Each structure stands twice: as C-alpha cells, then as structure tokens.
Structure 1
Amino acid sequence: MARLTPPRQLEETDDCAGFDCGRESMNQWFRRHAWRNQQIDVSRSTVIRDAETGMIAGYVTLSVGHIEREYLPKSSQRNRPENIPIFLLGQLAVDTRFQGMGVGRSLMFYALKTAVGMAKEIGCYGVLTHPLDDDVRRFYQNFGFEQLPHDPRRSMIVRIKDLVRNGFDAD
C-alpha cells in the first residue's frame, strides 16, 4: 500500500501528465488548466501524492462564486440577497492506481474543512458542486450535499452551517 502525503497546494514542478482518473475530460482539465488557473488566481488545486514516487494520487479544486437566490429551496430564499456567495468544488478526482484507498474522502474532508475555515473569516452560504453522473452524486450525498431543486444543471450544495453542525470546524 502506498504511503500518501497530506494534502498540499499544487506546485509547478508536480507531474500532472501521468495523472489518470479514468475520465479523460478530468485528466485533460488537470493537465491543461489546473496550474494555469492557479497562476491567474482563478482557483486552487490541492493534491495528495505518493510519498515515494511523487505521483499525484488525487486532486481537488476550490474557487469562489455565487448562485442566484432563486435556485435555493424556497425555505432558504427568504431575506437573502439576490446573489448568494458559495465556494465551488469544481473538480475532485483520484488516479485509478489509488482508487479505493480513501484519497477521495481525504480530499473531500480537506475541501470542506477549508471552506468552513474560510467562511468563518469572510462569510459564505455553502459549497456547490456539479456532479458528472449519479455515482459521483451519491459520493457527494455521503457528505451532506443535496440537489438544488430549481437548478437545471442539477448542482448540489451543502450549507456551511450544516458542515459546522457535523464537526467540520473542529481542528
């Protein structure tokens, strides 16, 4: 079993070319855009690597954004501004050689704890994601994500206050 590093921000010297999660669109995004997006302050990618080989075992990408109030459940729309601040969990992928080892779970915990920590400083409603398929959707549901009922993209969100209630603010 590989010994894995703690999550850390992607570095220019990391070898992204060998990463293969089994989804070519996500591989290509990571290889072509992750580092560039970081350079221009659009998003941050965090990686977990194999401590021996340096291979990237998985990555998660976070950025900030907003959703329109109308996409929230009716019970959450009242007394909210038109644009609701969110963190966007844009990408989360695990290399096929490391799948089933808890890398995705570790990256998700890292992303959610990071979002909660930042929300304490700047305020934010939740973490939004756009799952690619129903298997990915079920993975996110395990972390409290719920489908936005009025969003045609079938986005999912978990509220910061629910993450705090479930212990994601603990050190």
Structure 2
Amino acid sequence: MIDEQEPTVQAPQPIKTEHYLEDFNSGNPELNDWLRKRAIKNEDSGASRTYVVTVENKVIAYYCLANGSVFNSIATGKVRRNMPDPIPVMVIGRLAVDKNWQGRGIGYGLVRDAVLRTLQASEIAGIRAILVHALNEQAKQFYEKCGFIASPTAPMTLMITIADAKTALS
C-alpha cells in the first residue's frame, strides 16, 4: 500500500531566488507577472518585502509589504482621528494564491501573517493602519471579511487600524 500524503505547506517566508515561481497562476496575469518579474527586484532594492507560501520550494501563494502613507482625505474616520497628514501605513501591495490552492484559507492566512509582521514593525516605527488597494470587487469583499474598511472617497482602498488588527487576532 502506497501512502500518498498531501505535500507539506510551508508557513510564509521571505522570497528567495531558489523559490520556483514559473508555474504560479492565480488567474490574474498582473499578479502572476509581478511575482515573476518584480518580487525579487523589489526585494533587492528594498522597495517591498515579499513573503511566499511554498510546497517543496514551489510558490503557491504570496503577498508583499511596503511602507506608505495615506492622505487624511482618503482615510477612514478611525484611521484619520488625531493623525498627521499624511498618515503612516503599511501597504499590502500584492496578495495572490495559485488557482490550485484557492478556497483553502491560504489567503486569510496570508493576511494574518501580514498583520503579525506589521504589528512587529509598529513596535519600532510609526504605523497607524494597514492599507490595501483592491484590484476588483471580489478582492474588496475578501478584505472586508478580514476586517478592512473601505475609504469613503476611494472605495477600492481599504484599511484597518493597527489597534483593530490586533484585536481581530485575539
């Protein structure tokens, strides 16, 4: 009898040149191309940090983080309250899961990992909120389920305060 176990899914880790990216297909060509063409370059230049979920060194999901800011006019009321203009934020720049792995909770796991890393960063630098620019309505709904709130003036821009993100993890 052959024991065919499901391959082990590795926790998010920083992207490396050894990771296999070529077969990654989220169903969104823009997200696929960014992973293959920009992720390592951005990592090397310091523009963003990409974290990947792998199975046997093959990337099955990823997200990236970058520091940023948001103008008060775009921020939600909770994010804007008593803050300078612009407001310091952590940006989830990209987040995607390979089509073969979608629907298994990996996307939520990536958001959770991004929140945990942002909470660590907020211990040493000012970060008021986590911000994301949703690519489409489906992505917007996903982030809303994760507790993000849409901007009143830019509905595809969503954010969650660090305090609310911390509470959501508890």
Structure 1 length as normaliser, TM-score? 0.90
Matched, 1:12 2:1: no
- How many residue pairs were aligned? 165
Whether the 8 Å CA contact 1:4–1:49 is kept in 2: the answer is: yes
The residue that corresponds to 2:151 in the other structure is 148
| In structure 2, distance between residues paired with 1:121 and 1:148 | 27
Residues 111-122 of structure 1 aligned to structure 2 (within 5 Å): 111-122=114-125
Could you list the runs of 4 or more consecutive aligned residues of structure 1 that deviate by over 3 angstroms after TM superposition? 73-79
Task: Identify if the C-alpha distance between structure 1 residues 49 and 74 changes in structure 2 by more than 3 Å, giving closer, same or farther.
Answer: closer
Q: CA-to-partner distance for each residue in 1:36-58, whole Å, 9 max, x for gaps? A: 000000001000101xx321110
In structure 1, distance between residues paired with 2:31 and 2:76? 30
Cα RMSD after superposing both structures: 1.6
Q: Which moved more, 1:99-108 or 1:58-67?
A: 99-108
Partner Cα separation in structure 2 for residue 78 and residue 45 of structure 1: 30
Cα distance in structure 1, aligned partners of 2:79 and 2:62? 31
TM-score by length of 2: 0.90
Q: What are structure 2's unaligned runs of at least 5 residues?
A: 1-5
Question: Which of 157, 161, 164 pairs up with 2:163?
Answer: 161
User: How many percent of aligned residue pairs carry the same amino acid?
Assistant: 25
Unpaired runs of 5+ in structure 1? none
Instruction: Describe the SS at the equivalent of 2:22.
Output: coil
